[in-house]
Structure 1
């Protein structure tokens, strides 16, 4: 097998809703990546086809990776296989990590995370990385979700906020970009935007209209299946 691929055994698979799954896998050898990056995934049900997904955790010694996947209605691609067919014991192939949605090692500014949909995955990875050393920076996370306590990963986010007093979560049922703008101004914050490309583009445009410098807005400009 090419050294450009990392075999990974699925150790847990949870259907969080009819179209969303959260699963964890363990690579057989360490995968060198940074929080916020993504990897192509190939599953046994669609060999030779792959799609890119963001890790939902920072690197760990146990080599476990978490992924959040949404499969739209009537989808029949890699996302559908990962949501509807994947099960513990299956072996995935992960490609080399890519992506620039990583922490700025030189910034000491407070941070704002704006994840749309399963774009929550890289935001959680970055927050996990911050939890290992952050003592002085305030973190704001804006989340678009329905008014439903059982909504995908809501409880996990609440637990994060309980553990870390520097993390504030603000939720909205609609108008995520407008919600962020309404809580401004943001004179000196770093922004991390993640999610489907159309949602990312709308949020970035709204932030720039609020005079947030483009140099302080981070996002991946590739169409991820997150």
Structure 2
């Protein structure tokens, strides 16, 4: 994983399971009535073991606890599943999946679900991060590419300079999508990441033919308190 991202697994009691759709999120219930929302990064079949990707935010209420006081086996409470960001299974359209940072978590769940169901709809995954080191779980994506001929992957680095030579896409991830796809009218588009990414997609993609009814998004905000 990246140095600022932790992969957290929650194990439910053996007699319990969580029914959810890939792409949805849950809210961890913290002291003093506070909550933190995290997308589920695992597909529903593994509903006894829930995977979350936690960005470590300096001064973050939960991420600081994760590093200091929360140990393996600790009891955590949550509510969920929540959210309307999930894969529309009945559509036959090709899919564009766009992730920014830890927005990769719900996108991972969606891809794993399509693979498990044998869905062969063309999928193009774009993942925007600062540097190559932030492409955590890149080995998982490479395995997908090697076994799923209908899936392609474009990583996009916003700050590639510190990584030495980089021949891939650079800049903003939504701009890389627009450069590759002049006509978006045929696609279903799923976007997960910071609010700035969501707003950029909402403003620019319709101009290249995307029907706003085919755009599905989940905005992440990083709360330090």
Confirm or deny a common fold (TM above 0.5): yes
Q: Which has the higher helix share?
A: 2
- Cα distance in 2, alignment partners of residues 218 and 20 from structure 1: 25
Paired residue secondary structure (1:57)? coil
Q: Do structure 1's residue 94 and structure 2's residue 78 form an aligned pair?
A: yes
**Equivalent residue, structure 1, for 2:188:** 190
Q: Measure how far apart 1:134 and its partner are.
A: 3.3
**Equivalent residue, structure 2, for 1:40:** 27
- Cα distance in 2, alignment partners of residues 188 and 40 from structure 1: 34
Whether contact under 8 Å (1:20, 1:83) holds in the other structure is no
TM-score by length of 2: 0.82
Alpha carbon RMSD of aligned pairs, Å?
A: 2.3
Q: Do structure 1's residue 204 and structure 2's residue 191 form an aligned pair?
A: no
Return the match for 1:112 from 96, 106, 112: 96
Whether contact under 8 Å (1:42, 1:48) holds in the other structure is yes
**Equivalent residue, structure 1, for 2:173:** 176
Return the match for 1:164 from 148, 164, 175: 148
- Cα distance in 2, alignment partners of residues 83 and 130 from structure 1: 33
TM-score by length of 1: 0.82
Return the match for 1:139 from 94, 119, 123: 123
Q: Measure how far apart 1:67 and its partner are.
A: 0.4
Whether contact under 8 Å (1:37, 1:100) holds in the other structure is yes
Paired residue secondary structure (1:199)? helix
- Cα distance in 2, alignment partners of residues 163 and 94 from structure 1: 35
- Cα distance in 1, alignment partners of residues 179 and 43 from structure 2: 31
**Equivalent residue, structure 2, for 1:13:** none
- Cα distance in 1, alignment partners of residues 196 and 134 from structure 2: 26
Whether contact under 8 Å (1:140, 1:168) holds in the other structure is yes
Question: Can you give the 5+ residue segments of structure 2 that lack an aligned partner in the other structure?
Answer: 158-170
